[in-house]
Amino acid sequence: MQERHPILKTNLIFLAGVLGSSILVFQAGAQTSSHPANPKRTAAPMHYRPDRFAGRAGKYYALIWGVDSLSLKYAESGEVIRFSYRVLDPNKARTLNDKKLEPSLIDPEAGVKLVVPSLEKVGQLRQSSTPEAGKSYWMAFSNKGRLVKRGDHVDVVIGPFHAQGLVVD
Protein backbone atom coordinates (compact mmCIF):
# COMPACT_ATOMS: atom_id res chain seq x y z
CA MET A 1 0.00 0.00 0.00
CA GLN A 2 1.16 3.39 -0.88
CA GLU A 3 0.67 6.37 1.46
CA ARG A 4 -1.43 9.10 -0.05
CA HIS A 5 -0.33 12.11 2.08
CA PRO A 6 3.29 11.75 3.21
CA ILE A 7 3.58 15.52 3.84
CA LEU A 8 0.54 15.49 6.13
CA LYS A 9 2.02 12.63 8.15
CA THR A 10 5.35 14.49 8.47
CA ASN A 11 3.56 17.66 9.61
CA LEU A 12 1.57 15.75 12.24
CA ILE A 13 4.73 14.17 13.63
CA PHE A 14 6.43 17.58 13.75
CA LEU A 15 3.40 19.15 15.49
CA ALA A 16 3.27 16.35 18.07
CA GLY A 17 6.98 16.83 18.77
CA VAL A 18 6.60 20.59 19.27
CA LEU A 19 3.62 20.20 21.59
CA GLY A 20 5.30 17.47 23.59
CA SER A 21 8.51 19.43 24.09
CA SER A 22 6.65 22.60 25.08
CA ILE A 23 4.76 20.66 27.76
CA LEU A 24 8.04 19.32 29.13
CA VAL A 25 9.57 22.79 29.17
CA PHE A 26 6.48 24.23 30.89
CA GLN A 27 6.53 21.52 33.59
CA ALA A 28 10.26 21.94 34.17
CA GLY A 29 9.85 25.69 34.53
CA ALA A 30 7.00 25.23 36.99
CA GLN A 31 9.07 22.87 39.09
CA THR A 32 12.11 25.11 39.29
CA SER A 33 10.18 28.27 40.13
CA SER A 34 8.67 26.78 43.28
CA HIS A 35 12.07 26.01 44.83
CA PRO A 36 14.46 28.82 45.76
CA ALA A 37 17.95 28.68 44.24
CA ASN A 38 19.48 28.92 47.71
CA PRO A 39 17.35 27.04 50.27
CA LYS A 40 19.14 28.70 53.23
CA ARG A 41 18.23 32.20 52.10
CA THR A 42 14.64 33.26 52.58
CA ALA A 43 13.16 36.53 51.45
CA ALA A 44 11.79 38.93 54.04
CA PRO A 45 8.03 39.33 53.84
CA MET A 46 7.04 42.41 51.91
CA HIS A 47 4.52 44.62 53.66
CA TYR A 48 2.38 47.01 51.69
CA ARG A 49 2.76 50.51 53.04
CA PRO A 50 0.22 52.83 51.50
CA ASP A 51 1.01 56.49 51.04
CA ARG A 52 -0.81 58.10 53.97
CA PHE A 53 -1.50 61.33 52.14
CA ALA A 54 -3.01 62.00 48.78
CA GLY A 55 -0.87 64.03 46.43
CA ARG A 56 1.27 66.63 48.15
CA ALA A 57 -0.39 66.66 51.58
CA GLY A 58 2.63 65.12 53.33
CA LYS A 59 4.90 67.81 51.91
CA TYR A 60 2.36 70.45 52.96
CA TYR A 61 2.40 69.32 56.61
CA ALA A 62 6.20 69.27 56.62
CA LEU A 63 6.59 72.67 54.95
CA ILE A 64 3.81 74.62 56.67
CA TRP A 65 3.50 72.89 60.07
CA GLY A 66 6.97 71.37 60.50
CA VAL A 67 5.66 67.82 61.15
CA ASP A 68 5.49 64.49 59.33
CA SER A 69 4.58 60.86 60.05
CA LEU A 70 1.05 61.78 61.12
CA SER A 71 -0.81 58.67 62.22
CA LEU A 72 -3.95 57.61 64.04
CA LYS A 73 -4.08 54.31 65.92
CA TYR A 74 -7.09 52.49 67.29
CA ALA A 75 -5.93 51.71 70.86
CA GLU A 76 -7.22 50.30 74.14
CA SER A 77 -9.81 48.13 72.38
CA GLY A 78 -11.12 51.16 70.55
CA GLU A 79 -11.75 53.32 73.62
CA VAL A 80 -8.88 55.60 72.62
CA ILE A 81 -7.67 56.97 69.29
CA ARG A 82 -3.98 57.90 69.50
CA PHE A 83 -2.74 60.68 67.22
CA SER A 84 1.03 60.90 66.79
CA TYR A 85 3.41 62.98 64.71
CA ARG A 86 7.13 63.66 64.37
CA VAL A 87 8.51 67.18 64.61
CA LEU A 88 10.79 68.45 61.84
CA ASP A 89 10.77 72.16 62.67
CA PRO A 90 10.07 73.01 66.34
CA ASN A 91 9.06 76.62 65.60
CA LYS A 92 6.42 75.64 63.06
CA ALA A 93 5.18 72.69 65.17
CA ARG A 94 4.69 74.80 68.32
CA THR A 95 0.94 75.09 67.60
CA LEU A 96 0.40 71.33 67.95
CA ASN A 97 1.85 71.32 71.49
CA ASP A 98 0.15 74.52 72.68
CA LYS A 99 -1.69 73.82 75.99
CA LYS A 100 -4.13 76.68 75.36
CA LEU A 101 -5.50 75.08 72.17
CA GLU A 102 -8.00 72.27 72.57
CA PRO A 103 -7.44 69.47 70.04
CA SER A 104 -10.37 67.66 68.48
CA LEU A 105 -10.82 64.68 66.21
CA ILE A 106 -13.80 64.96 63.86
CA ASP A 107 -15.38 62.02 62.06
CA PRO A 108 -17.82 63.54 59.55
CA GLU A 109 -19.39 60.18 58.59
CA ALA A 110 -20.06 59.15 62.20
CA GLY A 111 -21.03 62.73 63.06
CA VAL A 112 -18.84 62.89 66.18
CA LYS A 113 -16.19 65.18 67.61
CA LEU A 114 -13.74 63.54 70.03
CA VAL A 115 -11.69 65.48 72.58
CA VAL A 116 -8.56 64.81 74.59
CA PRO A 117 -9.71 63.79 78.09
CA SER A 118 -8.29 65.39 81.20
CA LEU A 119 -7.71 63.06 84.14
CA GLU A 120 -7.70 64.31 87.72
CA LYS A 121 -4.16 63.26 88.72
CA VAL A 122 -2.57 63.06 85.28
CA GLY A 123 -4.00 66.03 83.40
CA GLN A 124 -4.65 66.02 79.67
CA LEU A 125 -3.67 62.88 77.76
CA ARG A 126 -1.30 64.73 75.46
CA GLN A 127 2.24 65.96 75.32
CA SER A 128 2.52 69.70 75.58
CA SER A 129 6.22 70.29 76.17
CA THR A 130 8.27 72.51 73.87
CA PRO A 131 8.71 70.51 70.66
CA GLU A 132 12.17 69.30 69.62
CA ALA A 133 13.25 68.36 66.11
CA GLY A 134 13.34 64.61 65.44
CA LYS A 135 11.11 63.67 68.39
CA SER A 136 7.67 62.14 68.16
CA TYR A 137 4.70 63.43 70.11
CA TRP A 138 1.21 62.07 70.76
CA MET A 139 -2.22 62.80 72.15
CA ALA A 140 -5.09 60.47 72.96
CA PHE A 141 -8.70 61.15 72.01
CA SER A 142 -11.47 59.53 74.03
CA ASN A 143 -13.60 57.27 71.81
CA LYS A 144 -16.23 56.27 74.35
CA GLY A 145 -18.84 54.13 72.66
CA ARG A 146 -16.34 53.29 69.89
CA LEU A 147 -18.09 55.55 67.39
CA VAL A 148 -14.90 56.07 65.38
CA LYS A 149 -13.83 52.81 63.74
CA ARG A 150 -10.68 51.50 62.05
CA GLY A 151 -10.56 52.66 58.45
CA ASP A 152 -12.57 55.84 59.09
CA HIS A 153 -11.34 59.05 57.46
CA VAL A 154 -11.13 61.74 60.12
CA ASP A 155 -9.87 65.29 60.63
CA VAL A 156 -7.61 66.43 63.46
CA VAL A 157 -7.97 70.09 64.43
CA ILE A 158 -5.65 71.92 66.86
CA GLY A 159 -6.27 75.67 66.62
CA PRO A 160 -5.30 76.72 63.09
CA PHE A 161 -3.80 73.27 62.33
CA HIS A 162 -6.15 71.07 60.27
CA ALA A 163 -5.15 67.59 59.11
CA GLN A 164 -7.92 66.29 56.88
CA GLY A 165 -8.71 62.80 55.68
CA LEU A 166 -6.38 60.88 58.01
CA VAL A 167 -7.15 57.16 58.18
CA VAL A 168 -7.53 55.42 61.56
CA ASP A 169 -5.28 52.32 61.62
**Among 1-5, 144-148, 151-155, where is mean pLDDT lowest?**
1-5
User: Is 131 a residue whose pLDDT tops 60?
Assistant: yes
Q: Which of 43, 45, 69, 74 is nearest to 57 (CA)?
A: 69
User: Is 24 a residue whose pLDDT tops 50?
Assistant: no
DSSP code string of 122-161: TEESB--SPP-TT-EEEEEEE-TT--S-TT-EEEEEETTE
**Per CATH, is 58-167 categorized as 2.60.40?**
yes
**What is the pLDDT, as a whole number, of residue 25?**
47
- pLDDT tens for each residue of 25-56: 444 445 544 555 555 555 566 555 555 555 68
What confidence tier does 87 reach under pLDDT thresholds 50, 70, 90? very high
Q: What percent of the chain has pLDDT over 70?
A: 67
At 106, phi and psi to the nearest 5? -115, 125
**What is the pLDDT, as a whole number, of residue 55?**
62
pTM: 0.68
